[in-house]
Amino acid sequence: MSLQNLGHTCVVGLQWGDEGKGKIVDVLLENFDVVVRYGGGANAGHTVLIGSDKFALHQLPTGVLRPNVHAVIACGAVIDPATLIGEVDNLRARGVGVDRLAVSDRAQLVMPWHRREDVLAEQAAGAEARLGTTARGIGPCYSDKVSRRWGLRVCELFDADRFRSRVAQVVAHKNAYFGALYDFRETFNADTIADEYLAFAERLNPFVADTTTLLADAMADGKRVLYEGAQGSLLDIDHGTYPFVTSSSTGVGGVASGAGVPPTSIRSVIGVLKAYSTRVGAGPFPTELHDALGDQIREAGGEYGTTTGRPRRCGWFDAVAASYTVRTSGPTRLAVLHLDTLSGFDEVKICVGYQWRDQMMNTLPAATYRLDDVTPVFETHAGWHEDVSSCRSLNALPKSARAYLSRLSELLKTPIGIVGVGPARDQTIFVEG
Ligand code: GDP
Ligand code: IMO
Ligand code: MG
């Protein structure tokens, strides 16, 4: 895969998140000038390993770790100022200068009532209906954005008197609403919250910009832009396993609206997949392994959430679900990560259909709840036992690992451009052609 001719590129997860987007963005950024987070918020957790230094970024794009790259958080993302400032301070304490960062003045602010409602709503839902959110206030913040009545945007932080009166208005509503609906005994204090956020405004001020204009100018100047998808396409609000999804457009469809750029400007899409499947939080997962094999994948792959530390649910590769997200995001190349994690299995499986009652399903149904009753239909392939973590070309991989990759590519009708054989930057195979 030639990295020179990619054009403006989107890196997007094709499963339920945590596919390794952070690593791929980090590796590709050598060839780009600007990196953009276009959706989601501090629910994301993108890990980058630079030498022996591990960084986990939530609110910031991973590009802030690259000294020559401009990092942008665009208007489709939601901004939790405390998290953002905390990450900037942490990085600076570790010697990473965060100077080339722009935060959209149009992005919505995550407010204390969003984080609180995320928790209250999950508690009220009861065990069966819980979504297993990251408790970062994402759903309530996007709900307020779409409702148009209670959302606050970054630009509003810079008109202090107006901001105070808007906060007072929203707080009166939230106190009444939460008190009526939830077990909510405390109340929000408008002055305390406004003071806190106006202090954040001073810290955010150097970063706040009209990122739509900034991106248009950068592209006109010939700068190369990389869009860093957050979450995965199966968590997309429209195309994912609703309602067990996040609240944003996580797929490539989210780039144009989330970043405010023309869809036609995107030339390449790198669809990131693990060589197996994981999911964190609630929701259907047809190929989930509830046995020792699932534990083996979890331990070998270090499958614990970057944001919440929760053990990730693990299972075989689901080509039915991935084919669906390939259709919605149209990757030009696949990046298949964690091939090393599958070393040590006698057999590896790929799900190619779902048996539901007397029907065979070969795509994701809209009625997500039916996925609880499907039996996955597997193809079984020979596994491999060799350690592949130092392989740097496809030819160096065991024959059965190569056959497995070819089959994934064939099922998803997309060439593989990158294979991951470990978390480090150099544990990456770039496939020729
Ligand atoms: P993201 O949310 O998509 O950026 O992914 P996360 O960072 O949440 O989770 C991916 C994890 O896998 C991180 O710990 C990465 O360091 C790690 N990782 C990425 N690629 C590989 C790979 O090819 N092999 C192994 N073993 N780990 C990888
Ligand atoms: P990255 O960018 C994996 C999941 C949560 C939950 C559902 C809704 O690291 O791939 P939310 O807090 O967004 O309302 O939670 O979505 N989820 C993720 N799972 N990776 C992520 O991000 C996720 N962001 C949200 O676990 O099931
Ligand atoms: Mg993650």
The CATH number of 7-101+210-430, from 3.90.170.10, 3.60.70.12, 1.20.58.740, 1.10.760.10, is 3.90.170.10
Give the gyration radius of the chain's Cα atoms: 22
Predicted confidence (pLDDT) at residue 3 exceeds the cutoff of 80: no
| 361, HSE (Cβ side, Cα atoms, 13 Å) | 23
Q: What pLDDT, in 10s, does the model give residues 135-146?
A: 999 999 999 999
- pLDDT for residue 130: 95
Superfamily of domain 108-204: Adenylosuccinate Synthetase, subunit A, domain 2 (1.10.300.10)
Predicted confidence (pLDDT) at residue 306 exceeds the cutoff of 90: no
Cis peptide before 243 (omega within 30 of 0): yes
Beta-strand relationship, 70-73 and 375-382: unpaired
Are the CB atoms for 53 and 240 separated by under 8 Å? no
Distances (CA, A) of 51 to 23, 54, 383: 13, 8, 30
Ligand 2 centroid – CA 204 distance (Å) = 25
Ligand nearest to the CA of 341: 1
Tokens describing residue 148:
């148009």
User: Residue whose CA is closest, atom 28 of ligand 1?
Assistant: 423
Kind of pairing between the strands at 208-209 and 101-104 = parallel
Question: 274-287 pLDDT, tens per residue?
Answer: 999 999 989 999 99
Q: What is the pLDDT of residue 309?
A: 87
Active site members: 18, 46
Per-residue pLDDT of 226-284, as tens digits, reads 999 999 999 999 999 999 999 999 999 999 999 999 999 999 999 999 999 999 989 99
CA distance 102 to 124: 37
Question: Residue 69: its pLDDT value, please?
Answer: 96
Q: Is any atom of ligand 2 closer than 6 Å to the C-beta of 44? A: yes
Closest CA to 229 of 255, 266, 204, 207: 255
The per-residue b/e assignment along 349-369, b for 16 or more CB within 10 angstroms, e otherwise, is: bbbbbbebeeeebeebbeebe
Q: What is the pLDDT of residues 78-103, one digit of tens each?
A: 999 999 999 999 999 999 989 899 99
Kindly tell me if the per-residue pLDDT of 4 is higher than 90: no
* Ligand 2 mutation target, pool 25, 43, 239, 244, most atoms within 8 A of CB: 43
b/e burial code for range 161-171 (CB count within 10 A of at least 16 → b):
eebbebbeebb
What ligand 2 atom has the least distance to the C-alpha of 13?
Answer: 10
Higher pLDDT, 97 or 114: 114
Sorting pLDDT into bands at 50, 70 and 90, what band is 128?
confident
For 345-356, write each residue's pLDDT tens digit. Answer: 999 999 999 999
Q: Return mean pLDDT, the chain.
A: 96
Ligand 1 centre distance from Cα of residue 366 (Å):
29
Cα 158 to ligand 2 centre (Å): 31
* 235 in contact with ligand 2, CB cutoff 6 A: yes
Q: What is the mean pLDDT of residues 155-179?
A: 98
**pLDDT at 5 exceeding the cut of 90:** no
Query: What pLDDT is recorded for position 426?
Result: 95
Q: For residue 225, what are the β-bridge partners?
A: 34
43 in contact with ligand 2, CB cutoff 6 A: yes
Q: Which two tokens stand for residue 42?
A: 């501090």
How far, in Å, is the centroid of ligand 3 from the Cα of 44? 5
- Going by CA atoms, what residue is nearest to atom 6 of ligand 1? 18
- Among protein residues, the one with the nearest Cα to ligand 1's atom 27 is 423
Ranges of each domain in the chain: 7-101+210-430, 108-204
Q: List all residues whose CB is within 6 A of at least one atom of ligand 1.
A: 13, 17-23, 45-47, 49, 301-302, 306, 337-338, 340-341, 420-423
Determine the average pLDDT of the residues in 97-115: 96
Q: Which residue has the higher pLDDT, 373 or 307?
A: 373
CB of 65 within 8 A of CB of 26? yes
- Is the Cβ atom of 41 under 6 angstroms away from ligand 2? no
Distance of CA 128 to the CA centre of its chain: 25
Distance 50 CA to ligand 3 centre (A): 17
